[in-house]
């Protein structure tokens, strides 16, 4: 599990290379926001197969495994669980290191329980 903190005004897709750096996986599951050339190239460079649904505005058709994509529900449920901690959901911490430290603590607790 990896977290990269960005500013609130930054798109998550700007961090795709860092998230995939050194990753060994057969598949990468992501939402429609990652249906771009940059993300697809980064996933292919990592040696994984993208499991990303196509946006309606994407001209190029690409098949994806809908059955495998259903496992993304586990990721969404994980984020829902960590947002039960008000400090995570509202980002009260002024320093990124404090927020990241608490985020790692909560993620470790939720993964172990």
Confidence of residue 17 (pLDDT cuts 50, 70, 90): very high
pLDDT of residue 47 exceeding 80, the answer is yes
pLDDT of residue 54 exceeding 90, the answer is no
Q: What's the mean per-residue pLDDT of the chain? A: 87
Which pLDDT score is estimated for 97?
93
CB 1 within 8 A of CB 107: yes
Which pLDDT score is estimated for 35?
86
Spatial CB neighbours of 4, under 8 Å, sequence gap ≥ 6: 15, 18, 19
Which pLDDT score is estimated for 101?
93
């Amino acid at each position: 599990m990896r977290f990269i903190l960005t500013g609130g005004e930054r798109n998550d897709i700007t961090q795709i290379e860092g998230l995939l750096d050194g990753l060994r996986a057969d598949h990468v599951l992501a939402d429609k926001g990652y249906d771009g050339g940059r993300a697809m190239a980064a996933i292919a460079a990592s040696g994984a197969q993208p499991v990303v649904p196509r946006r309606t505005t994407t001209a190029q058709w690409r098949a994806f495994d809908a059955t495998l994509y259903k496992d993304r529900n586990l990721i969404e449920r994980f984020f829902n669980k960590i947002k039960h901690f008000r400090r995570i959901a509202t980002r009260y911490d002024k320093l990124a290191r404090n927020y990241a430290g608490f985020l790692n603590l909560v993620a470790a607790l939720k993964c172990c329980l």
